[in-house]
Structure 1
Amino acid sequence: MKGICRVVVGTLLFVMLSFTIFTGVNQAAVKSFKDVPTTHSNYKAIQYMAERGYIGGYPDGNFRPQELISRKHVAALLDKVLKLPQPTSTKAKFYDVPKNHPYYSSIMKLSEAGIVSGGPDGRFNPDAPVTRIQMAKVLDLAFDLHMTTQNAFYDVYPDHWGYVHANALYSSGVAKGYQGEFLPNESVTRAHYAEFLYRAMLVRDARPAGNAMTKGKAWDLSNRIPYLIEQTMRKGQTNGQPYADIKMELSKYATKDVVDNTLVNYYAKACMECYNQALPVLRMEPLVRFNFTQPDANTLHVKTIEFQNGISTGGFVDYTFKKQNSHWKLASFTYTPAGTKNFEFTVDEAKKVIEAEYKSYNYKEVVIKYVTKTQQIELDPVTDAPYTFDQYVFNAETEYGRYKVHFNASDGLMQ
C-alpha cells in the first residue's frame, strides 16, 4: 500500500511541475517530446536540456513549449544548471516562499547569489510568468554576460531599468530581438526560455578557463559601470535629490574617493533639464582602440577612446577599476579631448568603424571602399592651437544603395 501511495504522489508531482528537475538521467534513454519535432525552431535547445536532466515533460510525452514559464521554475532550472551552494540564511526572505515551499531552496540560493529579487512588498511571486526583460536580468547576472553593445534595441531605452541586461544579451548572442525591438514586457514560453538558457550556457562554456581578465569583461566594465553611475546621477537630478541622498547608491559602482571627490563636483554643476553625460559612452570604439592591463587581481587599467558624435568632442579615455568585496568599481578616470594630439586613424581603422556603424543599424550587406582624402584644419578644444588632420572619403555600398561618408582621422567624426 505504501508503495502504491508513493507512486501516486510521485505521479502527481510530475504533473504539477512544468520543469522537472532530475538528479540522474540516462541520456541515451531521453526521447524527443511528441510536440517538439526535429523541425521545431527550439528543438536543439530543448533536447540539449532534456538530455542533461535539466528539464522534463509531462506524462503524456509532451513538452508544451508554448506554455509560459513561471518565476519558480526559472529559479529551479538555474539552480540545477549553476550548481549553487546551499543558502546560508535559515530565515525565509519572501512572504510567499516559506521554508516548506517546494522551491524554497532554489529561490533562496539565487537570491543570495544576487541573481533574483522580489518586489518592494517582500514577495517573490513564484507563480507569476517571467517577462523577457526579467529573463534578461537573470541570465545576465547568472552567466556574467558582457555588455559590449549600446542601444541594441529601440524599445529598451537608456533610462529603462533593464537596459544593461538587454544589451548584454544582445552582445553575447543570447537574444537578438525582432526587427530592432526586444519586446521587454512579453512573457517567456518554456521553449524560448530553454533556448535562451541554452545559448547562455554555450557562451559560458566557450570562455577560457580561469579568472584572467579578457577584453570582453574589460569592455563590459567600461560600459556597464559608467552607465550605472550615470543613471544614478541622472535619476537623482530628475528627482531633485541632494548628492548626499545618492551617495550610498553610487558607492556600489565607484570607490569612496571617486564618490567623495570626483562625482560630487560634476553633480553640483549638472543641468537638470539638459543632463549631459559625465562619463564616455563607448559603442564600437574598442573595436579599434582598446588596451587593458591588470597589475594585480584586484586592479584593472583601461585605455580607449570615444568618438566625436557631433555634440561632444572625441577624446582619450583612461579608466582604473578596483575590485572591492568581489565587486568591480570605478577608481579613477580621465578624459583628454582630441586636438593637437589626436587619434590619427588609419584608413583600415576608419573602414572598420564605418562598417560597424552601418551594421549597428541593421544593414546586412556593407562594403566600405576608400576614395580619397583631404586635409582639414581645426582648433584644439583646449588650447585653441590650429592643427591639420586627414579627412577620409569612403563609399559605403549596402543593399539599400551607395552612400558617401566623410570620416575625420582626428576624432572619428562621421558625416
Structure 2
Amino acid sequence: MKKTLTSIVLGVLLTGSLTSVVEASSRQSIYSDLSMNNTFYESVYSMNMKEVLEADYTDDGKILIKSNEVVTRGDAAFMLYMLLGMEPDTTLGFPDVDPSSPYYEAVSTVASRNIVSGYEDGKFHPEIVLTRSQMSRIIAGAFNYTVNANATVPFTDVNERWTPYVDAMYRHGVTAGVTPTSFAPDKKLTRGEMAAFMHRAYKKVPGSAYTEFEVMNVVNEATRKTRNVIVQGLAKHFPNQKAADISSDMSQLAIDSYLSLSLVGYEKSCYNCDGANVLSDFQFGLPYEILMQSDTLLKMDATVPTNSINSGHRAIIELVRSGDSWKIKSYVTRSFTSDPLALTIDQAIDYLSYAVPVYWQEDVATIRHTGKDNATGYDLFVVNGKTTYLFDRNSGYLDRR
C-alpha cells in the first residue's frame, strides 16, 4: 500500500462469467465479483483506476474488487490519503501503527490533519470496522465541509452526535440516505459504499485545487478507462471491428482530436498481439511536468518507458473537464530518438529505488552502478549487492539480468 502510481495490468480481462451490457456498447465489468448493473460499479471502477481502491488478482486472471467487504479505520485512512494526494506527515504516530505497517504514512497524515483521531488509550486501532456514521465525520473532515452544530437532517435514525456530519454530506450531495428518512448510521461500511461516498465528494473538487499526485491519478484513470474500452471491443469484435463498436463508449471518455485518433487506431488494431493501439500508463517515477492546470484543463508531459514488448515514448496528454468527468482531448507523442530522457547516473539510481520494489518486488537497500552491458550498451546496476539490472537511461527500459 505504498503511495506510488504503479501500472495496473489491464490485459485481456474477459471471462465467460462477466456481465454484458446494453446494445451498442462493448463494455463489460472488469471484475469477476461485481456486475456493471451494481449501484456502486462506476464509483468502484473510478476509485480502482485511480489506485485508491485496491483489487486482488487471481492466478487464473480474474480481478476481485470485494465491494461487499467492510472498511476499517486503516483502510479509510489509506483511501483518502491516496485519493487526495496528501503530502506525507508522520509527526503524529500511534503505538499500534508501526512504521512497517502499510497504513503508517496514511494514518499519521490523516491524523495530523485531524481528519481521523486516535482513541483515549493513545492508540489508533486501524483494525476497527467503520460505521456509516463514523464515515460521515471522516468524509466531512477530508473534504473540509463546514459543519453546523445545530443542523437537522431528514433521517430519523441519526442522533445528535452524528447529525452535523451527516448534514454536511447531505448538503454537498454525497448522500441521500438509504431511504428518504433513514441513513442506517450503525451499519458497517462496505468498500462499495466508501467508494461511492468518495466518488461523489471528489467529483466536486475543482481541478485547480488538485495536488500533483491528484493530477497523476486523474490522468491514469482516463488512460486506463480508454484502454479497457478498446481491449474489450477487440475481444468482442476482432477481426471485423468497426469504429461504431466503441464510439459511444469512447465518447464518454474522450473528445476530438483524441477521440477520432483512438477510433482509427481501434480499426487498425489486432487482438492477442502487441499491435493494439491503446494508451499505456505513464511512468511517473521518470521525468514529467504539469504544463497547465485549471478547473477545466489538465495538461501533462510525461513518459511511457520502453519495455520488452513495446517501444515507449514521451507524450503530452491534455484532458478537459466535461461536467463531473475528465476526458482526453489530445495525445501527442515524441520518440526517444528525438527527445531522449538522458538521465544522469544519480537520477537513474533514484528511479530504480522506486521501480525495483514496485515492478520486481525486491526491496532496495543499496544500488551501485557497475558500468555498461557490452551487448546492449545499457547501464548495469547492482541492487543489494546481488541482483543486476539493465537500464537504458534514454528510454527507461528496465530488465533484470
Give me the TM-score of the superposition, normalised by structure 1: 0.51
**Cα deviation digits, residues 207-261 of structure 1 (max 9, x gap):** xxx94664323322332211122223334444559754654443343225433x1
Aligned ranges 1:231-310 → 2 under 5 Å? 231-240=228-237, 244=244, 246-259=246-259, 261-274=260-273, 276=276, 278-283=278-283, 286-294=284-292, 298-310=296-308
Alpha carbons of structure 1 residues 404 and 135: separation in structure 2 relative to 1, 3 Å: same
Alpha carbons of structure 1 residues 366 and 116: separation in structure 2 relative to 1, 3 Å: farther
Match of 1:409 in 2: 393
Q: Distance in 2 between matches of 1:79 and 1:105?
A: 9
Contact 1:213 1:294 (8 Å CA) reproduced: no
Q: 1:125: Cα distance to partner?
A: 8.0
Contact 2:313 2:336 (8 Å CA) reproduced: yes
Greater RCO (CA < 8 Å, at least 6 residues apart): 2
Q: 1:370: Cα distance to partner?
A: 1.2
Match of 1:394 in 2: 381
Match of 1:335 in 2: 333
Match of 1:352 in 2: 350
Q: Distance in 2 between matches of 1:335 and 1:413?
A: 17
Alpha carbons of structure 1 residues 55 and 216: separation in structure 2 relative to 1, 3 Å: closer
Matched, 1:223 2:220: yes
Q: Distance in 2 between matches of 1:124 and 1:247?
A: 39
Matched, 1:78 2:139: yes
Contact 1:370 1:394 (8 Å CA) reproduced: yes
Structure 2 residue matching 1:303: 3-state secondary structure = strand
Give identity over the alignment, percent.
17
Alpha carbons of structure 1 residues 257 and 304: separation in structure 2 relative to 1, 3 Å: closer
Q: Distance in 1 between matches of 2:263 and 2:354?
A: 35
Contact 1:344 1:410 (8 Å CA) reproduced: yes
Match of 2:368 in 1: 369
Q: Distance in 2 between matches of 1:118 and 1:263?
A: 40
**Cα deviation digits, residues 113-136 of structure 1 (max 9, x gap):** 6757999xxx99876533446546
**Cα deviation digits, residues 124-169 of structure 1 (max 9, x gap):** 987653344654664476468xxxxxxxxxxxxxxxxxxxxxxxxx
Q: Distance in 2 between matches of 1:369 and 1:114?
A: 53
Contact 1:98 1:104 (8 Å CA) reproduced: no
Match of 1:130 in 2: 189
Alpha carbons of structure 1 residues 111 and 328: separation in structure 2 relative to 1, 3 Å: farther
Match of 1:200 in 2: none
Q: 1:357: Cα distance to partner?
A: 1.8
Aligned ranges 1:25-174 → 2 under 5 Å? 40-41=96-97, 68-71=129-132, 73-75=134-136, 77-79=138-140, 82=143, 84=145, 102=158, 110=169, 129-132=188-191, 135=194, 138-139=197-198, 142=201
Higher alpha-carbon Rg: 1
Q: 1:293: Cα distance to partner?
A: 1.5
Choose between structure 1 and 2: higher helix proportion. Answer: 1
Match of 1:312 in 2: 310
- Unaligned stretches of 5+ residues in structure 2: 1-72, 74-93, 99-103, 148-152
